[in-house]
Amino acid sequence: MNKKSRQRCKSLNLHLNKLFISLICTATLLILSTASVSAATPIKGTITDEKTGTALTGVGVLVEGTTIGTTTDNDGHFTINVPSENSVLVISYIGYTKQKIKVGRQTNLKIVLSEDSRSLDEVIVVGYGTQKKSVVTASISRVTSEDLNRVAPVRIDDALKGITSGVTVTTASGQPGAGSQIRIRGIGTINNSDPLYIVDGMPIDGGIDYLNPRDIQSVEVLKDAASGAIYGARAANGVVLVTTKSGKSEKMRVSYDYSYGVQNAWKQRSVLNGTQYAIMMNEASIAAGKGAMYSDPYSFGTGTNWQNEVLNSNAPKEQHQLSISGGNDKISYYISGGYYSQDGIVGGNFNRSNYKRYTLRSNTDYVLLDTKERNFLNKLVFTQNISFANIKSTGISTNSEYGSPLGSALVMTPLMDVYADTDAEIKNVNNILGNASVKIPVSDYRNKKLLNMAGDSFNEITNPIGQLSIPGSIGSSNKFVANFSAELTLIDNLKLKSSFGNDIAFWENNGYNIPYYLGKSSYNERSYVYSSMNRSWVWQLENTLSYDKKIDKHSFSVVLGQSAKKTTGRYLWGQRYLMISEDASKANIDFTTGIASKGEQLVSGSAYSPATMASYFGRISYNFDERYMLQATVRRDGSSNFGTNNKWATFPSVSLGWNITNESFINDRKPEWLTNTKLRVSWGKNGNSTMSAFRYVALTSTGNNYAFGAGENTIINNGTKPNGIANPDLKWEESEQTDLGLDFALFANALTFTVDYYVKNTNGMLMEMPINSYVGDAKPWGNVGTMENKGLEFETTYRFKTGNWNFRVGANASFLQNKTINLGNSTGFANYDSYASVGTISRAQNGICFPFFYGYKTAGIFQNAAEVNAYKNANGDLIQPKAQAGDVKFVDTNNDGVINDDDRTKIGKGMPDWTYGFNFSASYKNFDMNMVFQGTIGNDIYDATRRVDLQYVNLPAYMWGRWTGEGTSNTTPRFTWTDDNKNWQSSDLYVKDGSYLRLKNIQIGYTFPHNLTRKALISSLRLYVAAENLLTFTKYEGFDPEIGTSGGTSIGIDRGCYPQARTYTFGLNLNF
């Protein structure tokens, strides 16, 4: 038996999990040690982990050149007999750097092992299995828990920022809990371009923020089609594989993490102060022939700084995490609980922008059977990953020029005080209320003081403190994700794994409203309470057969599998008017008196239509001597979202790799420093099926009603029609991608470098078919558009050590070029965003990147009438006849002699050419430091924060530098209310350089010496201070260059975005 097990150990050596190998090796060493007999000196020792200081169990200790060996016990201790003082101990432990120690005269050794994360034997997670990094042929980026610790992210999507190439993370806003938009290799489609998230094998829809990043062991981003193909129909936008932590076979380890931070806006936007504002208003008013508005502008001083009023200073952010892990050869476990809370820097102090999250996780592996009595059905491992998250959040309206608190703070007149506390102000409030349909003013939530009102001339713009003081809604969610799997070794290396995953989510939104009047389009007449409840259940059943075999120099790995998934859900919404009293604590629907027959009780609800998916997949990986690698994958998916004509689709991929340095003819001649060179090439086809169900048929649609009858006898009759025109031929979007990659490792893997080039084409983008409206109903969806993304990606890491110093430098950069090949409609363009009265500001168009900023090009300012008169077309007519000195000179881009809509063109884009990041870590003795930088190059920001359609709003500071006479400005036109020249129509005057470089995170830590902390039973204690967004280098004048997205297809439009906070954090990591 011993012999057999030893042989098996050898053949297994290459593969699978570290734990299993270490167990076998331990056994082997034990056998070896008992076999040896020697009469030498007994030496004792303890082996601990460099980072955590915890004892390591099962570490192999071998006297070099002999068969004398042992392993450490549960407390990390070992005893070994060494033949002489010259003996050298070889300390080896899977996942740690091998050490050789000369015994000398020492009798009690203290050995510290450091984790070896640069090893090319590193195993990375691929779909339905793992693979040695050295034989990977696809383009996969990896983020480890170590990387995550450097940035301490709140959400996993934030964690990917700046750490890995090929991934563009744009944050919609700095509002606590706000999600980021992740684009893997660009915007692949005009539809949903979100990647597929797979957490421990379970696909997660509807938000990934239930995951506590501290529970994550690694994140693998499958970027090319070849790696994604195993997820077929859902992989077109890339796949993010998340693996959560599991216990190791070691002594119980208890970790506690705590951090507390304070957040502040890192900058304010420069706007006019009271005096400047009054001067500008006078200037415009006099020019309009209405005389000066203010007799003494200088009497106003600086006026109200609305940004100061709105921004919440020192908003707290707090985090606790307790985890317990450990195990033995039968069971290993990881249990954790986390708490996170964050108040927003806008509205957090009004309870309007707050986030709280509780998370629980229990990951356990049970070795139910592990016998050496036979070579078939000899091992069974059962794994469960169970997590729960509870999230409560409140949020304010963000990134809107139509009266979001921050957007309003930018344009509210500085001449108005926050509070109405003088007789004149109270009179003004009463005057405004006099014409209002609701005569209830708003008071400050915090101190109940009556707030001032700006009046009708400000339209949607109202006192931002008022906006924060009215009640908001509270969103909350509970999510359980539980996966159970069992892996049975059938024979040899043939394994059957069955898993059953569940994602059960409950989410709700509750709130109330009271009668109030803030402005002519911001008021509420009657009090009401509303509540919506949703629940969903996703289950997935998967069975995979995997087989690994190495025959001589040929290694095979085959995975065959089947998957079935179903999503169901239900929602209910109700609203009832007339609260018994305006008591927030009783804001429940039955605390109202509304009567149904008066339309004061509203309800809706339904089951979600179920969605099912069935799949079969297979993958074969082969390598010869780790020199030539081949991998082929095919997945066949069936989806209930498609009709019988196209229910099933097949997604193939193939990839090849060549480890050049493993060739003997190279290996012999290559320079010493060149450790490894690998060439990869892959091709594959992935799908995108994220669309609503039943687009392929017409279903009944009720509510197409009409009233018959006269006067009091009028009755609304129910009308039903098809919900649209069916397209039974509807099918998946397909994305086809080719990737070429090169990996280098130099200086014994100290320096690694990876470069990838790819071309990704999305064909048959799902969109409304460009047919005539005269069909008379909602147009069918069809597979019509085409999009192309091309890019280059670089990643490099360098580690080195000098004396007590350890350094690690990592850098990554991605270049992306996107093009809409065919929008599928007859015009070849589609307008996207619009802004106040300016109209369309972004569009998509065939042959141009998706989307782009759209407007006029400008050529400076007409300095005098002569310049206006000199701007003529071929016929001698004035190109801008309505212009006068001080107005903007627009470029006649199509050279037709007039400036009109047809001259609008691409004036910028929100998507960067380059996104990059670099991180730097250093440690010296007990001190450590980490920095993460990130940045973009080549993106623009459309500054849509100014309300050009309103006369009396405040202005950005650049308006102070307006044209006031010849030579005063060639960039900012004269300030006028009668803008005949349309100076502020959409043009490049709004488009600003959005490139930035940001020190996203810096952390400095100190770990107390083990001998100090040991007395308190603490195995390690680390204290740290950190700062987020400490430094930002950008030319952009707005709140934040990280504008991100304000909608699915909208990128880089700043309407007064909620900026990311600058946060200073203190924290500790404690291990027992």
Subset of residues 626 to 655 that bind other proteins, contact rule: CB under 8 A: 638-640, 644, 647
Which of 698, 848, 1053, 1070 touches other proteins by CB under 8 A? 698
Which of 704, 900, 964, 971 touches other proteins by CB under 8 A? 704
Applying CB under 8 A, the span of 154-162, 241-249, 357-365, 763-771 interacting with other proteins comes to: 763-771
Q: Name the nearest CA neighbour of 222 among 214, 231, 212.
A: 231
Residues 516-575 that bind other proteins (CB under 8 A): 541, 543, 562, 564
Give me the DSSP letters along 297-342: GGGGTT---HHHHHB-TTEEEEEEEEEEEEE-SSEEEEEEEEEEEE
Distance CA 158, CA 169 (A): 7
Give me the DSSP letters along 476-516: EEEEEEEEEEEEEEEETTEEEEEEEEEEEEEEEEEEEE--E
- Nearer to other proteins by Cβ, of 776 and 876: the residue is 776
- Nearer to other proteins by Cβ, of 44 and 882: the residue is 882
Both tokens assigned to 262: 């304070």
Q: Are 354 and 394 in contact (CB under 8 A)?
A: yes
Q: List 684's β-bridge partners, or say none.
A: 653, 737
Amino acid at 912: P
Q: In whole angstroms, how far apart are CA 455 and each of 388, 412, 452, 953?
A: 48, 11, 9, 11
Q: Is 612 in the site for other proteins (CB under 8 A)?
A: yes
Q: Is 514 in the site for other proteins (CB under 8 A)?
A: no
Residues 905-924 that bind other proteins (CB under 8 A): none
Applying CB under 8 A, the span of 15-23, 206-214, 707-715, 799-807 interacting with other proteins comes to: 707-715
Which of 709, 847, 860, 1009 touches other proteins by CB under 8 A? 709
Q: Is 777 in the site for other proteins (CB under 8 A)?
A: yes
CB of 152 to other proteins, least distance (A): 40
Query: What is the phi/psi pair of residue 229, to 5°?
Result: -55, -25
Both tokens assigned to 329: 């050869």
CB of 193 to other proteins, least distance (A): 25
Residues 722-741 that bind other proteins (CB under 8 A): 722-723, 725, 727
CB of 922 to other proteins, least distance (A): 50
- Nearer to other proteins by Cβ, of 242 and 538: the residue is 538
Residues 968-1007 that bind other proteins (CB under 8 A): none
Residues 794-833 that bind other proteins (CB under 8 A): 825-827
Q: Is 700 in the site for other proteins (CB under 8 A)?
A: yes
User: CB-hemisphere CA count at 13 Å for 422?
Assistant: 6
Applying CB under 8 A, the span of 325-333, 662-670, 708-716, 809-817 interacting with other proteins comes to: 708-716
- Nearer to other proteins by Cβ, of 341 and 640: the residue is 640
Give the pairing type, strands 834-835 and 829-831: unpaired
CB of 287 to other proteins, least distance (A): 20
Distance CA 460, CA 949 (A): 11
- Nearer to other proteins by Cβ, of 830 and 1043: the residue is 830
For 828: left if phi > 0, alpha if psi spans -120 to 50, otherwise beta; the answer is left
Which of 708, 805, 1033, 1066 touches other proteins by CB under 8 A? 708
Residue burial 863-876, b: 16+ Cβ < 10 Å; e: rest = beeebbeebeeeee
Q: Is 665 in the site for other proteins (CB under 8 A)?
A: no
CB of 574 to other proteins, least distance (A): 14
CB of 779 to other proteins, least distance (A): 8
Applying CB under 8 A, the span of 38-46, 467-475, 627-635, 771-779 interacting with other proteins comes to: 771-779
CB of 690 to other proteins, least distance (A): 16
Q: Write down the residue that tokens 């609304």 correspond to.
A: 716
Q: Write down the residue that tokens 């095979």 correspond to.
A: 556
From the CB of residue 136, how many other CB atoms can be counted at a distance below 10 Å? 24
CB of 194 to other proteins, least distance (A): 23
Residues 302-321 that bind other proteins (CB under 8 A): none
The burial class, CB within 10 Å (0-12 / 13-18 / 19+), for 1015 is: exposed
- Nearer to other proteins by Cβ, of 340 and 577: the residue is 577
Both tokens assigned to 881: 């006849």
Distance CA 191, CA 319 (A): 36
Applying CB under 8 A, the span of 141-149, 246-254, 259-267, 695-703 interacting with other proteins comes to: 695-703
Residues 472-511 that bind other proteins (CB under 8 A): 486, 488, 496, 498, 500
User: CB-hemisphere CA count at 13 Å for 1013?
Assistant: 18
Residues 30-49 that bind other proteins (CB under 8 A): none
Q: Is 288 in the site for other proteins (CB under 8 A)?
A: no
Q: Is 705 in the site for other proteins (CB under 8 A)?
A: yes
Contact characters 380-399, other proteins, x per CB under 8 A: x-------------------
Which of 514, 558, 560, 614 touches other proteins by CB under 8 A? 614
Q: Write down the residue that tokens 């797979």 correspond to.
A: 198
Residues 571-610 that bind other proteins (CB under 8 A): 598-599, 602, 606-610
Which of 707, 876, 978, 1015 touches other proteins by CB under 8 A? 707
CB of 827 to other proteins, least distance (A): 5
Which of 1, 424, 710, 1017 touches other proteins by CB under 8 A? 710
Distance CA 186, CA 737 (A): 12
- Nearer to other proteins by Cβ, of 229 and 830: the residue is 830
Q: Is 611 in the site for other proteins (CB under 8 A)?
A: yes
User: Coil, strand, or helix at residue 823?
Assistant: coil
Q: Write down the residue that tokens 């009858």 correspond to.
A: 709
The burial class, CB within 10 Å (0-12 / 13-18 / 19+), for 960 is: middle
The total number of residues written for the chain in this structure: 1072
Which of 42, 585, 774, 1015 touches other proteins by CB under 8 A? 774
CB of 640 to other proteins, least distance (A): 4
Distance CA 313, CA 346 (A): 9
CB of 532 to other proteins, least distance (A): 16
- Nearer to other proteins by Cβ, of 358 and 608: the residue is 608
Q: In whole angstroms, how far apart are CA 328 and each of 247, 331, 369, 377?
A: 9, 5, 14, 22
CB of 544 to other proteins, least distance (A): 10
Distance CA 479, CA 359 (A): 9
- Nearer to other proteins by Cβ, of 584 and 603: the residue is 603
Kind plus residue range of the DSSP H or E element containing 787: strand 781-802
3-state SS, one letter per residue, for 82-134:
ECCCCCEEEEECCCECCEEEECCCCCEEEEEECECCCCCCCEEEECCEEEEHH
Q: Name the nearest CA neighbour of 416 among 362, 449, 375, 463.
A: 463
Which of 719, 881, 967, 1009 touches other proteins by CB under 8 A? 719
Which of 95, 316, 770, 897 touches other proteins by CB under 8 A? 770
